[in-house]
Amino acid sequence: MNAKPSLPLRQIVAYAGFMLLGLGIALLWRAYRAGPEAPISAVQFDSATVLEAGPPLAPFALTDQFGRPFTAANLAGHWTFFYFGYTSCPDVCPTTLKVLGQMLKRLPPERAAAAQIVFVSVDPKRDTPDKLGKYVDYFGRGFLGVTGDDAALQALTKPLGIHYERHEADGPTYLVDHSSNVLAVGPEGSLRMLFSPPFDSATMAANFLRVADGN
């Protein structure tokens, strides 16, 4: 039996680093939006850090798999679950998107209908709208794929503390290191939940419903 090849040390270190960075997203966001005078309030659930509703996300402008603009206006009236990755990701991206699809199926129909899962590609060079569309369609209804150039991406990622790094010098099959958290934005357009791996669809659904139902 052939041994399963191990991940390169650089990739292991990078993933560990991005996971640690992700743990700080909630604190950074709370400090950013609260200001020096405002109280900071957060509650820790089983799989998520829950934040009080604050100011909406900073303006951003991306493009979805249909070639349509995707901006902060698309967040109004929906619960939006953001995940940042790329379609050539060999492991964590498809695994996480599969769990998000399973989570969506666990929600009551009215909650599922009002939720959207947005996969933000941080690899726009390879992830064309057509490729994004085919990729997210595999995971089910309710998924959108969006991307943009680095300036457009960073208008969304930077305020949220999302990090990514492309290793294009490694050739056409290069890997991209990226944060691995799932962020939930409420219908008012502000960050409300930060889910950290490992992800479990039942726990995520239960935690989300507690927040969405005001419990």
User: What mean pLDDT, rounded, does the chain reach?
Assistant: 86
Q: Residue 28: which CATH number?
A: 3.40.30.10
Predicted local distance difference test score (pLDDT) of residue 43: 86
d(CA 149, CA 6): 32
pLDDT digits (tens, 9 = 90+) for 75-90: 999 999 999 999 999 9
Q: What share of the chain is helix, strand, coil (3-state, %, to 5)?
A: 40, 20, 40
| Residue 158 belongs to some domain of the structure | yes
| Residue 54 belongs to some domain of the structure | yes
| Residue 3 belongs to some domain of the structure | no
d(CA 171, CA 42): 43
Q: Would you place residue 215 in the very low, low, confident or very high pLDDT band (cuts 50, 70, 90)? A: low
As a whole number, mean pLDDT of residues 181-199 equals 96
As a whole number, mean pLDDT of residues 95-101 equals 98
Q: Is the pLDDT of residue 3 over 50?
A: no
Please list the residues that pair with 64 across neighbouring strands.
146
Predicted local distance difference test score (pLDDT) of residue 42: 74
| Residue 205 belongs to some domain of the structure | yes
Predicted local distance difference test score (pLDDT) of residue 198: 94
Percentage of the chain exceeding pLDDT 70: 80
* pTM greater than the 0.95 cutoff: no
The letter for the amino acid at 121 is S
Q: Please state the domain count of the chain.
A: 1
Predicted local distance difference test score (pLDDT) of residue 170: 96
Q: Which domain holds residue 208?
A: 9-212
| Residue 39 belongs to some domain of the structure | yes
> What six digits make up the tokens of 213?
């139902």
The letter for the amino acid at 31 is A
Using alpha carbons, list the distances in angstroms from residue 193 to 26, 53, 112, 183.
Answer: 8, 10, 17, 6
Higher pLDDT, 214 or 92: 92
